[in-house]
Amino acid sequence: MSMTAAAHDAVVPAPATPHLRAVPPLPEPARETTALWWARLLRRGPGPLEYSLVAVNSDRFPDGTPVDMTAVDARGRRPAGWQVDVRHRATDGRVVRIEVAEELSDRCPPMWFAEVTHATGAVPAASLLAFRGSAFRPGAVVRPHEVAAAGVRMTDRIAEVRWWIRSGLVDTVTVEPVYRGRGVARTLVTAAEGLRFLRGWAPLRSDGRLTDAGAAWLESAPAAWQPRLAARSEVLPDADVEEELTGVARLLR
């Protein structure tokens, strides 16, 4: 037998097999949905009894469905897809704090809030103002007299959303220029949506009259907001002086 034939008949060793570890398949990305339902959770602890009203963006329940989950001990957890958590006392309904999901507020500086109702106008309106500083803990919700008692002026706010209670139509969303582009408006409006549901008011919405900044925000708004944000139908000028307001609805001036 020739050397060539012998080499041909020789057993060729099989290539080395890498050591592979079995792992579960990658989870499919969550299906985007515009549904926003509301979970009521009981917060057990050493202090006074408190509840959380949590807005959840998922298709687990139909849009707008209130779900009582107080029979289950949440142990501080919230349903997957939660957007905003309005924590309030059981005795008098006083809001203790508002938390917005990190995915919406990751670039936003720590803020606390002041809730204001406007009873002097012909149409009932409300505002939620955002402040920075150490006067109150981040997420705290206080009243105007508490703001004044802490030595803070209402004009010191860094952002404000004002809306009509009965219709939910947003009149203004104001953000100080230095804080724009950091998710402040998105965080504030999300907090206001949680607050309005607790109060039993109409869902927040826009009517299509937008400034350039408002239109830009609309393009990147969370999915749950899309059904209530009308396409831009009228261009409004940006206005940074209060006296320049014309009374028409403005979004993100």
Q: What is the pLDDT of residues 95-151, one digit of tens each?
A: 999 999 999 998 999 999 999 998 777 889 999 999 999 999 999 999 999 999 999
Q: 11 lies in a domain?
A: no
Number of domains into which the chain is organized: 1
Q: 4 lies in a domain?
A: no
Confidence of residue 246 (pLDDT cuts 50, 70, 90): very low
Q: pTM of the prediction?
A: 0.79
pLDDT over threshold 50, residue 248? no
Query: In whole angstroms, what is the distance from residue 223 CA to residue 225 CA?
Result: 5
Q: Which residue has the higher pLDDT, 206 or 20?
A: 206
Q: 93 lies in a domain?
A: yes
Q: Can you tell me the mean pLDDT for 199-213?
A: 85
Q: 3 lies in a domain?
A: no
CB 100 within 8 A of CB 84: yes
- Say what the alpha-carbon torsion angle 74, 79, 85, 91 is, to the nearest 10 degrees: -30
- Give me the pLDDT at residue 16, please: 57
Q: 186 lies in a domain?
A: yes
Q: Print the domain residue range for 75.
A: 32-244
Q: 250 lies in a domain?
A: no
Q: Is 69 buried (19+), middle (13-18) or exposed (0-12) by CB count in 10 A?
A: middle
Q: 126 lies in a domain?
A: yes
